[in-house]
Amino acid sequence: MAQQETKPAGYGEDDMTRGSGWDALLDDLFGLNVRALRTLAVSVIWPAKLFSAARDRDWLDRYTPSIRLVFTLIATVVFLKFLWVNEASALFAYTQATIEAMDLEFPGRSAEDATREYLATLLVTYPFSYFGVHAVFALMLNIWGKGTPLPVRIRLYFVTLVPLLLLGVVSTVAYAWVDPAQMDLMASLGFVLLFGLYVLTLMRGLSPVHQAGPRLGRSLLGGTLMTMADLLVSLVSSLWAVTWLYATAG
């Protein structure tokens, strides 16, 4: 008779093995299980809870680590851009018009071909630029409270990014309905909205450790630096893509 397999202690007690298995399937497909979805909701509704959990070694056994969640959201944004950004999209038309207006020439490529390859390259450079730039800013920013160790500061920084990346997912879907003439306005409003949401998230998240006055100053500083980081991400990603086009031209 075959020997019955012994399950490890605690098997079936976590959110990846209990219930119907749908949670595990969601994680297999999208990297988002019930715990991750709960973390996303808390990051928007009660960020102070997530800020407090980030100070616990195991995230209170309730929440998904912020860096892992940011990675998943970035992958989602890239996937959606892959689906939505085609020759018929506003972003494609806007990018092609920009290349033509700047008189950029890539030997062996038409403006349309250059636009197509530029946007495809951007899908590759953006995730690396995002993590690289924000990792550096996470090391520099120290608004989280006296005595907060560096690993926790990095966790808290990436917690703050989560609601903004959710907005990024929504705005990526919105590209399908935006007119090319509105892209400049959308980009400008987007960065203003980013700054406001960064400040709001920090104001709410830091409430357990700072009084209102100091918290506002720290939130404004954090929001400013994080918005600057996002601008730098866009610049670095674009420079990488343009450099690749020139390097492979001819």
Q: What is the pLDDT of residue 208?
A: 84
pLDDT computed for residue 21 by the predictor: 58
pLDDT at 189 (0 to 100):
83
Output the pLDDT for position 196: 95
- pLDDT at 2 > cutoff 80: no
Q: How many Å separate Cα 199 from the centre of its chain?
A: 16
Using CA atoms, how far residue 121 sits from 97, 104, 116, in Å, is 18, 17, 9
Distance of CA 57 to the CA centre of its chain: 23
DSSP state of 175: G
Q: DSSP secondary structure string, 107-147?
A: TT--HHHHHHHHHHHHHHHHHHHHHHHHHHHHHH---S-TT
Mean pLDDT of the chain: 83
The predicted pLDDT at position 61 comes to: 86
Reading the block at residue 232, the tokens are 């730098």
Q: What is the pLDDT of residues 142-168, one digit of tens each?
A: 999 888 999 999 999 999 999 999 988
Reported as a pLDDT band with limits 50, 70 and 90, residue 20 is very low
Q: 213 to each of 82, 200, 216, 229, how far by Cα in Å?
A: 43, 14, 5, 25
Q: What's the predicted TM-score (pTM) here?
A: 0.82
Q: What's the number of CA atoms in the CB half-sphere (13 Å) around residue 134?
A: 30
Instruction: Taking residues 224-247, report their average pLDDT.
Output: 92
| Structure-model confidence comparison of residues 2 and 106, the more confident one | 106
The predicted structure's pLDDT at residue 86 = 72
**What 3-state class would DSSP assign to 57?**
coil
* Placement of tokens 């990488």 in the chain: 240
Q: Looking at the predicted structure, is the pLDDT value of residue 67 above 80?
A: yes
Is the pLDDT at 23 greater than 60? The verdict is no
Q: Using CA atoms of 9, 10, 11, 17 in order, give the dihedral in degrees to the nearest 10.
A: -170
Using CB atoms within 10 A of its CB, is residue 48 exposed (0-12), middle (13-18) or buried (19+)?
middle
Show me where the domains of the chain are located. 32-247
The whole-number pLDDT of residue 1 equals 45
Cβ–Cβ under 8 Å, residues 90 and 180: yes
In this prediction, residue 247 carries a pLDDT of 86
Q: Does the structure show a pLDDT above 70 at 106?
A: yes
Q: In the prediction, which pLDDT does 27 show?
A: 55
| pLDDT grade for 32, boundaries at 50, 70 and 90 | low
Binning pLDDT at 50, 70 and 90, where does residue 26 land?
Answer: low
Decide if 59 contacts 68 (C-beta within 8 A). no
Share of the chain above pLDDT 90, in %: 43
- Alpha-carbon distance 73 to 69, whole Å? 6
What does the pLDDT read at residue 136?
96
